[in-house]
Amino acid sequence: MKKSGILNRHLAGALAMLGHTDLVVICDAGLPIPAGPMVVDLAFRAGVPSFAEVFQGLLDELVVEGAVAAKEIRGHNAATSALLDGSFPDTLELIPHEDFKTRTRDAKLVVRTGEAQPYANVILRCGVPF
């Protein structure tokens, strides 16, 4: 048995299959998920697990070279906006929410959280550790 890191076998396995430039969406409980990407649904109850918990856990496991979020986050979710700004001070791209939903179709993996705050969504672009 693993003693640390991500213990969820579905999520750990999905992360192991990712490569350079693959896209990973971390989303709140309400984001529509398109057909196509692999989905690991972690949502249990409203707010559980939170976007921040899942986001931090994935950042601990992945090399990320860029991120995309909906520009609407600025006026509707200050905490998540600050979290993303602090994590990606130079590489966070903001786009309209409708465009964000369209881009989720290109993801290899979608990780759904139980987050119940608006616009708590991000697309991560995988990098390489060398």
- Residue pair 83/52 in contact (Cβ under 8 Å)? The answer is yes
Question: Is 28 annotated among the ligand-binding residues?
Answer: yes
20-59 pLDDT per residue, tens? 999 999 999 999 999 999 999 999 999 999 999 999 999 9
- Rounded to whole angstroms, how far apart are CA atoms 74 and 37? 27
3-state helix, strand, coil in the chain (%, to 5): 35, 25, 45
Domain ranges of the chain: 20-126
Residue 121 marked as a ligand binder: yes
Q: Is 97 annotated as a binding residue?
A: yes
Q: Mind telling me the catalytic residues?
A: 20
* Statement: residue 91 has pLDDT above 90: yes
Domain 20-126: homologous superfamily in CATH: RbsD-like domain (3.40.1650.10)
